[in-house]
Chain A
Amino acid sequence: MLAAGDDTRIIAGGQSLVPLMAMRLARPKRLIDIARISDLDFVRPERDTVSIGATTRQCVLERDAVVRAAVPLLAKVMPFVGHAAIRSRGTIGGSLANADPAAEIALVAVTLGATLRYREGTANGEIAASDFFIGPMMTALPAAGCITAVRFPLWRDARIGVGFHEVSPRRSDFAFASAAAQVALDENGICRRVAFGIGAVTAYPLRLDAATKALEGTRAEEAVVREVVRTALADIAPLSDLHASADYRRRAAACLAVRAILDAYRDAESAHAG
């Protein structure tokens, strides 16, 4: 049905698509509701990843023990994903497919280097989250493709910490800027691995790889973090709109990024070694 190309859209939770339809920004001729396909509703720990089915509801992920233990950054951002009434219906796959620049789930997927699985006809495909988002509400998903699952890499380090901050007009509204960080420390408190990304600032979430490398081997001292963030954000192209100018977004992102990284470091320090 999708392959027919006659403006058929997939609907799961409908928390982004239906508002677009209400405002006549989307006028699909046909909707295919996948929300009740139980094979797409799961949280499954695998060897080096945690696989989450596309139609798993956000309110389920918010309380899921596996997610909290294995993908703590995702658990951290879930309360910020829409409001409770949105999370009751909204799905993880729907948020990814919608590709709002401000979406927290997309930010975590990019920051942690998640992989999206999709189905196109009878074939399965895979795409890295960092290649998936190509613009505001635009993805590299084939026109007749449907996301089936997203795999988050599992960090096996003993001391992991996460941090997340965003600025929005009211709690859980669309953010103007957000930043997420995950840090793993060795037994001496030195950063062994750092993942950090910003959302809502540019056309799609960005993982700042150079910055990540520069922080490894340090103790994430505030001055070092500030300098690394400043360098990392120097050549981004922030969005500008009625709510927040490009300049505001850049400054807010820098401030939030520093806080997120420092929070992640402190969180990891307090984690029990071993």
Chain B
Amino acid sequence: MRVELTVNGETRAVEVEPRMSLLDCLRERLLLTGAHAGCEHGVCGACTVLVDGAPIRSCLMFAVQADGYAITTIEGVAPGPGELSPIQDAFCETHGMQCGYCTPAMILAAHALLADNPAPTREQIVDAISANICRCTGYAQIVEAIALAAERMRGLNQPVRRP
């Protein structure tokens, strides 16, 4: 079956079997390997991508169901080649990762949260990543990273205060 997927702003036509998951399609057909295959039944969250801005499990959606939606993967969040989004930057700075397996999904979950709520409480941050399992960090630095990114993003494009 031929589907047209809009991934990171670019429309790409792919030929898929109806049973192919969006996750497999992104990784194997479009070579976007930032979405990770973890449990492959909707529990771990490693495969999270954004569909029309909302986080979804790409292992629980068939590629054919994604036709026409705007899909954002981790490859699409940086403003340009060699650059990082403020959230990615904050994850580096607070060391919000160890092995990195859950990281792309954590960052996308954070993008969805901050797009909706620029000033989340700690509890709201925890809730937003509660669908994503990390087996390394104990989550503390991930929560810290998202809070730091939120603070910086609120400060962007604000008038400079002079003493």
Q: Give the B-binding residues of A (Cβ under 8 A).
A: 14-15, 18-19, 22-23, 31, 33, 35, 59, 79, 82-86, 88-89, 170-172
Contact = CB atoms under 8 A, between A and B. Distances in A.
A82 B59 CA distance: 16
Interface string B106-140: 00010010000000000000011011000000000
Contacts of B78: none
Contacts of B77: none
Contact of A89 (B60, B112, B128, B130): B60
Contacts of B48: 85
B107 to A, nearest CB: 14
Given A19-B60, A88-B56, A89-B61, A170 B41 contact: no
B131 A172 contact: yes
B57 A85 contact: yes
A41 to B, nearest CB: 14
Given A22-B41, A79-B127, A89-B61, 8 more contacts: A15-B57, A15-B60, A18-B59, A18-B62, A19-B42, A19-B43, A85-B57, A85-B131
Given A84-B55, A86-B42, A14 B61 contact: yes
B70 interface: no
Contact of B40 (A22, A35, A86): A22
Contacts of A15: 42, 57, 60
Nearest to B21: A18
22 contacts: A14-B61, A15-B57, A18-B42, A18-B59, A18-B62, A19-B41, A19-B60, A22-B40, A35-B65, A79-B127, A82-B131, A84-B54, A84-B127, A85-B48, A85-B56, A88-B51, A88-B55, A89-B51, A89-B57, A171-B130, A172-B130, A172-B131
A31 B41 CA distance: 18
B34 interface: no
A175 to B, nearest CB: 14
A86 to B, nearest CB: 7
A33 B3 CA distance: 15
A153 B112 CA distance: 34
Nearest to B133: A170
Contacts of B56: 85, 88-89
10 nearest CB pairs, A to B: A83-B131, A88-B54, A19-B41, A22-B41, A85-B55, A18-B60, A85-B131, A19-B42, A88-B56, A171-B130
